[in-house]
Chains A and B, each alone.
Chain A
Amino acid sequence: MKNYDVIIVGAGSVGLPLAYRLAARGVSVGVIDELSSPGQGQNKAAIGGIRATHSDRAKIRIGIASLEFIRRLEPEFGQDVDYVEGGYLFPAYDEKIAEGLQSLLPYQKRHGLNIDWIGPEEVQEIVPGIRAEGLLGGTFSPEDGHLSSLKLAGAFYRLARQAGAEFHFETKVTGFDVANGRVTAVLTDKGSFGCGTVVNAAGGFGREVGQMIGADLPVYPDSHEAGVTEPIQPLFNPMLVDIAPDEHSDNYYFYQAKEGGIVFCITPRPKRMGTDRRSTSEFLPMVIPRMLSLYPRLRNIRVRRVWRGLYPMTPDGKPIVGFDRNVAGFFHAVGMCGQGLMLGPGLAEIVAAAIVDGEQPEEIFADLSPYRDFSGEELLK
């Protein structure tokens, strides 16, 4: 039986950077994923936004850590992930939304975010052609950005393997061996792997993996559809997020990737619960008119491809991060609520420190505990 210090279940947005972090610290790491290659679950469905702009202190801190690491990827590690520090811009055409966004600013600034309110002229300067009529301004956080989720997964996969992590693809976890209250092995359809620690980084299937050791994690995936257009000459840099709901949807957001295409996504209402990832006919007629109403100029751009990915949601919109109380050596890092891509790199450092050094800073591990009271709700989702 192959043995590892740590086995990570899931080679996705959380598992890949964590595999690198742990392996770089000299830990022997095995990564198990039922799909054929890295990042083939929800990671590749992520549209690529990377922000620290949240309204929760733990997520802000993790987001800042993610961005710090992503900025180092190219200069220090030679990994080009198409990162563009274009910022996040939440435009407002409605007094109530403007007030809501502005009310978050003091908290966000207090926790270290570079974010401010900008006026309509500045919004139009940053996003040439955005609808001027009724524009009140918006919040802009210039240190957020976007990147290619495919390339980020590839980069962490390469780094993890270089650092010694081993990957087992097309391998389905079927259970765990627990002896004297401690996890000792991961059971799979390709045999067992002995281990000291398991990290549940199974994303949309984190609840199922938790259930294998009797943990009941409140992770319930819903799904969002996304799309990308043909590439065009550079037009605008930031991720635009319109949080004004309409009849059938809540927020939608889009940006222009470094490769030139506009990548877009929408939150349907009511939510589509479950793990179905097949494209539906509803998506394009739902999102395109909204994008054109915000940004009429996009009318002549051609949509190239659509897909659908899961948002493994928790009741309060915050990830579940921490050791299991009942099975020693079992760590949960799930329920990223559709933000695994942007939280994963920062979380990796924190989780690695928790596993290797036993460091569990309260502002992360209390706030994101699997055993917290889930009744709160984050304002900025």
Chain B
Amino acid sequence: MRITQHPILEPKPGREVAFTFDGRTLVGREGEMVSSALFANGIRTFSRHRVGDAPQGIFCANGQCAQCTVLIDGLPMKSCITPLREGMEIKTLVHFPELPADDEPRQAHKPQELTCDVLVVGAGPSGITAAIELAEAGYSVILADDKDHLGGKLVLQTHKFFGSMADCYAGTRGTDIARILEQEARARKNITIMTDSVVAGVYADGKAGIYQPNEERYLLVSFRGVVVATGARERSLVFPGNDLPGVFGAGAFQTLVNRDLVRSSERVLIVGCGNVGLIAAYHALQAGINVVGLIDIAPRISGYRVHADKIKRMGVPIYLSHTLVSVQGEGKVEKATIAQVDEHWNPLLQTAKTFAVDTVLIAVGLSSVDEFYNAGVEAGFPVLKTGDANEIAEASSAMMGGRITGRQMARLLGSDLEIPQEWFEKAEILKSHPGQVFPRTHKWPAEEGWQPVIHCYQEIPCNPCTTVCPHNSIQLTGKTGTIMDLPEFSGKCIGCGMCVLICPGLAITLVRESHKDGLAELVLPYEFEHSFQPGDQVALRDVEGGDLGSGTVLSTRFSKKHRTHLLTIEVDAAIAARTAGILVQDPAVTEPLPEADLTYVPDNAIVCRCERVSVGEIKRFVQENEVTDLNQLKQIRAAMGACGGKTCLDLLPRVLMQAGVPKEAIRPATYRPLTVEIPMKALANQGGGKA
């Protein structure tokens, strides 16, 4: 259940240690998150809820919800943020925990108070770049993050980045960008980096409370200003079976697979065809996990077309205008049923298909985590939000946005540092949604020797291919005059393959005429482990996955720098320019079951996961009490759980609308600290940390 071979990632080292789960002795790696140690041992149910004794699986894998809570040495703890230690006694948490009879009084200590000019909350791409700009401007910065590393979600991004090479490391993998940014932050003396430090509240008196779980410590930070770079959280969906262990976010999946190298699943269905869903499908394939398909209720793909094309030709079907009808299983995900929708997005059940899957990944978008920003505005101190906390976009734009925000905060604090106008322009471009699609005809053969074929049809902010060509033969051509324009080849090609290796979309091939009649040689990028030998047959696919017959492997080579293989394949000359990739996944795995399973209860879908409040319960309460203010739903405990409404508050307005409440009448729920639960012993600083 661990990923021991991965085309991009190195298997994690780590001492093997024994622990117990419900009395069974198991082995995990010291320091890995308990949730991953459990997943690696095939355990996907962590607790049983007091409502209906329902099994609970992991959901966010990000320390934000509390679905992965287990009992560790007698205490309830979130397994996804608790490092494994030798000898831990871990148990399924059954309903509410019992408080251990530990009655010895202990000395309490006041929280330590730290001071800085600017507290930057969140050390992802925008937080780090903001901190660097502030430090450069001479301000002291505390850069706090709840994880044990810097880089935020960059560390999950095994793919090469889009964007521009000059401004945001385009063509480099997210995991590598995280390392580069971390080094830059650590090189600056006036940045104090605090990892494993959860900002739990930003208070009206201009102080933030920070909880350090490993030290069992709570401290206060005084600041002049706050930069909120807390990123985003995954949005969820309301469908029957959405509470079963095995339904989780695509981000959670990337955490398990890419950060912890745990094979969380065998077969997944992905809901949502934005970039997150598309990339998750690719990451699944790289981890050796089957993807039965992606669905989206919209009639078109909202993510980058190159991402979608890439997974289509690898053998993953995409079902547009489809919805998830239900997920079924006894205590865990076993099946998922999808159906086409009509123009009102109602499922057409006669089109239903059921797939055997063990995991359903939700990738229906992100919402900004901006509670601290709102708290700061309310309190009236200088506060800015940046990156996904400000606006959901690619990490490339977050880096640019962070730099701008860093300088903006410096200016709020009195600096007269200028912000170059071009930064704003670049930030705008980097967060562009995909633009127009242009048809392309691939001329072939043009002349002797190699030439690239660029299967890039849609305007996206990306330019690495233009910067790596040693002969400058690839140029952006188009109307916008920005990196949104499409690349075109003209001029000399020496067949070096740099453009093929750097392209984040795997959308460039090289072709040349073979000395054999009617045949051609084709060079393809390949980001999977392989054991191809010369003479092997491979299934050729056009850009969108159309079958082009087969080709013969001539040779392979591996670029260590780009961690990408180049396959040279002999193909029919007639299809050489149209061939964009090879099939990776056996088409048989994407077949639905012979019969669609339509056994489900629509109103059973869970909206508030912490308190297990169902959509039916909420609708009834809303109608009986004419509820328009989400605060009223706290009476039935919606949004009253451990997570503080992080998932359900996003869903509740839609549920109210389904219950007949006009959108404009709906009032939001009041936000209150804390963002995470903190044990009293830490708040009282009684000592006893294990770190």
Contacts of A180 in B (CB 8 A): none
Contact B99 A302 (CB under 8 A): no
Q: Is A311 in the interface zone, CB < 8 Å from B?
A: no
Identify the closest chain B residue to A152 (Cβ). Answer: B635
Select one of B96, B203, B681 contacting A280, CB under 8 A.
B203
Smallest CB separation, B181 vs chain A (Å): 30
Smallest CB separation, A195 vs chain B (Å): 23
Stretch at the interface among A112-120, A291-299, A314-322: A291-299
Among residues 242 to 287 in chain A, which have CB atoms less than 8 Å away from a CB atom of chain B? Answer: 259-260, 276, 278-282, 284-285
Among residues 550 to 581 in chain B, which have CB atoms less than 8 Å away from a CB atom of chain A? Answer: none
Identify the closest chain A residue to B629 (Cβ). Answer: A37
Query: Which residue, of B208, B209, B634, B635, has the highest number of chain A Cβ atoms within 10 A?
Result: B635
Contact A154 B625 (CB under 8 A): yes
Contact B96 A231 (CB under 8 A): yes
Contacts of A229 in B (CB 8 A): 677, 680
Contacts of A38 in B (CB 8 A): 632
Select one of B96, B205, B624, B644 contacting A260, CB under 8 A.
B96
Q: Is A359 in the interface zone, CB < 8 Å from B?
A: no
| Cβ proximity bits A129-173 to B, threshold 8 Å, 1 near / 0 not | 101010000000000000010110010011000000000010000
Contacts of B207 in A (CB 8 A): 281
In angstroms, Cα B630 to Cα A36, docked, is 10
Contacts of B683 in A (CB 8 A): 284-285, 288, 303
Contact B105 A296 (CB under 8 A): yes
In angstroms, Cα B220 to Cα A103, docked, is 42
Q: Is B87 in the interface zone, CB < 8 Å from A?
A: no
Q: Is A325 in the interface zone, CB < 8 Å from B?
A: no
In angstroms, Cα B678 to Cα A300, docked, is 9
Q: Is B684 in the interface zone, CB < 8 Å from A?
A: yes
Contact B677 A233 (CB under 8 A): no
Identify the closest chain A residue to B378 (Cβ). Answer: A278
Q: Is B114 in the interface zone, CB < 8 Å from A?
A: no
Among residues 304 to 357 in chain A, which have CB atoms less than 8 Å away from a CB atom of chain B? Answer: 304-307
Select one of B75, B96, B108, B204 contacting A279, CB under 8 A.
B204
Contact A292 B106 (CB under 8 A): yes
In angstroms, Cα B596 to Cα A92, docked, is 68
Contact A259 B637 (CB under 8 A): yes
Smallest CB separation, A83 vs chain B (Å): 14
Contacts of A293 in B (CB 8 A): 105, 108
Contact A292 B681 (CB under 8 A): yes
From known contacts A297-B99, A304-B642, infer whether A279 and B672 are also in contact, taking CB-CB under 8 Å. Answer: yes
Contact B631 A291 (CB under 8 A): no
In angstroms, Cα B629 to Cα A37, docked, is 6
Smallest CB separation, B186 vs chain A (Å): 28
Contact B629 A36 (CB under 8 A): yes
In angstroms, Cα B75 to Cα A230, docked, is 12
In angstroms, Cα B75 to Cα A169, docked, is 44
Interface size on B, as a range, is 35 or more
Contact A305 B99 (CB under 8 A): no
From known contacts A37-B632, A293-B108, A306-B673, infer whether A298 and B627 are also in contact, taking CB-CB under 8 Å. Answer: no
Contacts of B634 in A (CB 8 A): 44, 150
Smallest CB separation, A232 vs chain B (Å): 5
From known contacts A158-B625, A299-B679, A306-B673, infer whether A289 and B108 are also in contact, taking CB-CB under 8 Å. Answer: yes
Contacts of A260 in B (CB 8 A): 96
Q: Is B83 in the interface zone, CB < 8 Å from A?
A: no
Contact B625 A301 (CB under 8 A): no
Q: Is A188 in the interface zone, CB < 8 Å from B?
A: no
Q: Is B653 in the interface zone, CB < 8 Å from A?
A: no
| Cβ proximity bits B217-230 to A, threshold 8 Å, 1 near / 0 not | 01010000000000
Contact B102 A278 (CB under 8 A): no
Contact A233 B97 (CB under 8 A): yes
Contact A37 B105 (CB under 8 A): no
Smallest CB separation, B367 vs chain A (Å): 20
Q: Is A235 in the interface zone, CB < 8 Å from B?
A: yes
Q: Is A40 in the interface zone, CB < 8 Å from B?
A: yes
Q: Is B76 in the interface zone, CB < 8 Å from A?
A: yes
Contact A282 B625 (CB under 8 A): no
Q: Is B201 in the interface zone, CB < 8 Å from A?
A: yes
Contact A37 B686 (CB under 8 A): no
In angstroms, Cα B452 to Cα A68, docked, is 85
| Cβ proximity bits B72-100 to A, threshold 8 Å, 1 near / 0 not | 00011000000000000000000111111
In angstroms, Cα B678 to Cα A304, docked, is 7
Identify the closest chain B residue to A35 (Cβ). Answer: B629
Contact A285 B110 (CB under 8 A): yes
Among residues 170 to 186 in chain A, which have CB atoms less than 8 Å away from a CB atom of chain B? Answer: none
Contact B680 A299 (CB under 8 A): yes
Smallest CB separation, A307 vs chain B (Å): 5
Contacts of B674 in A (CB 8 A): 303-306
From known contacts A36-B629, A37-B629, A305-B674, infer whether A232 and B96 are also in contact, taking CB-CB under 8 Å. Answer: yes
Select one of B75, B97, B667 contacting A37, CB under 8 A.
B667
In angstroms, Cα B106 to Cα A291, docked, is 12
Among residues 605 to 625 in chain B, which have CB atoms less than 8 Å away from a CB atom of chain A? Answer: 624-625
Contacts of A284 in B (CB 8 A): 209, 218, 678, 683
Q: Is B437 in the interface zone, CB < 8 Å from A?
A: no
Select one of B103, B673, B679 contacting A297, CB under 8 A.
B103
Contacts of A278 in B (CB 8 A): 203-204, 375, 378-379
Contact A302 B205 (CB under 8 A): no
Q: Is B111 in the interface zone, CB < 8 Å from A?
A: yes
Query: Which residue, of B104, B108, B218, has the highest number of chain A Cβ atoms within 10 A?
Result: B108
Contacts of B208 in A (CB 8 A): 281
Smallest CB separation, A280 vs chain B (Å): 5
Contacts of B111 in A (CB 8 A): 285
Contact B201 A154 (CB under 8 A): no
Contacts of B104 in A (CB 8 A): 296
Q: Is B390 in the interface zone, CB < 8 Å from A?
A: no
Contact B635 A154 (CB under 8 A): yes
Identify the closest chain B residue to A285 (Cβ). Answer: B111
Q: Which 6 A-B pairs give the minimum distances between C-beta atoms?
A: A278-B204, A289-B108, A37-B629, A302-B677, A299-B681, A281-B207
21 contacts between A and B (CB under 8 A): A36-B628, A36-B631, A133-B105, A154-B625, A260-B96, A278-B203, A279-B203, A279-B204, A281-B201, A281-B207, A281-B208, A284-B209, A284-B218, A288-B108, A299-B106, A299-B681, A299-B684, A302-B76, A302-B678, A304-B642, A305-B672
Chain B residues close to A by CB (< 8 Å): 75-76, 95-106, 108, 110-111, 201, 203-205, 207-209, 218, 220, 375, 378-379, 624-625, 627-629, 631-632, 634-635, 637, 642, 644, 667, 672-674, 677-681, 683-684, 686
Given contacts A292-B680, A303-B674, list 6 more A-B pairs with CB under 8 A.
Answer: A37-B628, A37-B629, A260-B96, A281-B205, A293-B108, A304-B677
